[in-house]
Amino acid sequence: MRKMIAGLIFGLMATTAQAETLRIAALGDSLIQGYGLPQGDGWVPQLQAWLSAQGEDVEVINAGVSGDTTAGGAARVDWTLSDGPDGLIVALGGNDLLRGIAPEESRRNLTKILQVAQSRNLPVLLVGMEAPGNYGADFKESFDAIYPELAGEFDTLLHADSLAGMRAATGNDLRAASQYLQDDGIHPNKEGVALNIAAIGPVVQALIDQIEE
């Protein structure tokens, strides 16, 4: 009888452990934070809904701060990871571009973030972006190289373009893209976010697979 009870308890404990919800922190700026959008329409809740629709038992933690740069992300990465998430999405660099911050500085800050994650053996998805051409060809080449090179150096997953869904839907046509942007012409609206989530969702699933290995 005692053995039967012990077996039942062990089985219940094992089932509970298997059913534990994974937690993934999304470290980013206003694109992650959900700037200008009603609650439920932003990047994190739409990703949460997309993953749930795929049957994934995951909680996505919104660690986005509007206006944040890669330096801001590097300064708060330890705090972001203090409650022990199972994985990390890093989506920073847009505000570095808006401010014309040197690519070398952006690279140093992202390197620090990835070093902290590596020290915790934390699976990471690095989300890149493309620099516009208005800073010159050298700037664009240096900035665009940051994300694939760091992903290779730290062996992280890479989603090369945070706006990939919108670019695919519009053929990179700026006039067509306006239908997926808020009135400020910078931040995606609900429909734009949905396109970007559909593009990144499978890569987040690959991150989940890494966590569960």
187 catalytic residue (yes or no): yes
pLDDT at 25 over 90: yes
Query: Does 117 score more than 50 pLDDT?
Result: yes
Q: Is 184 a catalytic residue?
A: yes
The residues spanned by each domain of the chain are: 21-212
pTM of the entire predicted model: 0.90
One CATH from 3.40.50.1110, 1.10.10.10, 3.30.460.10, 3.40.50.300 for 21-212: 3.40.50.1110
pLDDT band of residue 14 (cuts 50, 70, 90) is very low
**Catalytic residue from among 68, 183, 187, 209:** 187
Catalytic residue among 30, 86, 161, 162: 30
Of the residues 161, 173, 184, 209, only one is catalytic, namely: 184
Q: 179-191: per-residue pLDDT in tens?
A: 999 999 999 999 9
Catalytic annotation on 159?
A: no
One DSSP character per residue, the chain reads -HHHHHHHHHHHHHHHHHTPPEEEEEEESHHHHTTTS-TTSSHHHHHHHHHHHTT--EEEEEEE-TT--HHHHHHHHHHHTTT--SEEEEE--HHHHHHT--HHHHHHHHHHHHHHHHHTT--EEEE--PPPGGG-HHHHHHHHHHHHHHHHHHT-EEES-TTHHHHHHHTT-HHHHGGGB-TTSSSB-HHHHHHHHHHHHHHHHHHHHHHH-
Q: What is the pLDDT of residues 28-61, one digit of tens each?
A: 999 999 999 999 999 999 999 999 999 999 999 9
